[in-house]
Amino acid sequence: EAGVAQSPRYKIIEKRQSVAFWCNPISGHATLYWYQQILGQGPKLLIQFQNNGVVDDSQLPKDRFSAERLKGVDSTLKIQPAKLEDSAVYLCASSLYRGVSTDTQYFGPGTRLTVL
Amino acid sequence: DAKTTQPNSMESNEEEPVHLPCNHSTISGTDYIHWYRQLPSQGPEYVIHGLTSNVNNRMASLAIAEDRKSSTLILHRATLRDAAVYYCILRDGFNNAGNMLTFGGGTRLMVKP
């Protein structure tokens, strides 16, 4: 079974530029998550989708971050404009369905973003 | 949300057992205890979870204290590949508002050959 795919793996941009990350979850997984992991810290949830609807985006900085999940499958996370503090690894995860506390999340390898 | 406390780092010798502790004194009756680990340059991966009873799987064992205020992840024979950051996470079994994982700082396990 193929895992969660993310691209690109690495991205370097200058501040105030825009950047987009792509995620393809495991086939059949209804729930998709985006996490931000700053160096030395645990991942922090940015947004959670159930199919193509948003379940939780309370920690997404909506003035510069946006995310969408077209047709309930692939997802794109965008930052516009980027700031220095956005330098982090952006992790995508998927799970079969939400509301089940034993539901395992499967993570992709992440995209490492460096903002200069 | 109930919080967990873990040591920042631990060291182990290869092929010896490792006991990774986690304190969760404010755990509620509906909280499940989950463990994930993150190998270098990879996303986190699921290790094990439990509610009240001790649990075993091919990766590890989870020992839960009788009062559920602490738990221990046990790796029976550490290998170099087990060097990772281990996260102990509580998840509410009756929260239908979401299913997110709230990560703390975790424990960085170093395995010496």
Instruction: For residue range B19-49, list pLDDT tens digits in order.
Output: 999 999 999 888 899 999 999 999 999 999 9
Q: Does A65 touch chain B (CB under 8 A)?
A: no
Contacts of A100 in chain B (CB under 8 A): 99
Distance CA B26, CA A77 (A): 35
Query: Mutation test of the interface with chain B: which of A101, A107, A112, choosing the one with the most B Cβ atoms within 10 A?
Result: A101
Instruction: Look at the block and give the residue holding tokens 């979850």.
Output: A25
Q: What is the mean pLDDT of residues B1-21?
A: 93
Closest chain A residue to B31, measured at CA:
A101
- Which residues between 48 and 87 in chain B have a beta carbon less than 8 angstroms from any beta carbon of chain A? 49, 85, 87
Contact A101 B95 (CB under 8 A): yes
In this prediction, residue B98 carries a pLDDT of 52
Cα–Cα distances in Å, from A38 out to A23, A92, A110, A113? 19, 14, 12, 10
**Whole-number pLDDT of residue A70:** 82
pLDDT for A2 = 84
User: To the nearest whole angstrom, how far is the Cα of A106 from the nearest Cα of chain B?
Assistant: 7
CA distance A83 to chain B (A): 23
Q: What is the pLDDT along chain A (116 residues), one digit of tens a residue?
A: 689 999 999 999 999 999 999 999 999 999 999 999 999 999 999 999 988 899 889 999 999 999 999 888 999 999 999 999 999 999 999 998 766 667 899 999 999 999 99
Would you call B94 an interface residue with chain A, using a CB distance cutoff of 8 Å?
A: yes
Say whether pLDDT at B96 is over 60: no
Mean per-residue pLDDT of chain B:
92
Distance of alpha carbon A33 from alpha carbon A49, whole angstroms: 6
> Looking at residue B101, what is its pLDDT?
87
User: Would you state the pLDDT for residue B2?
Assistant: 63
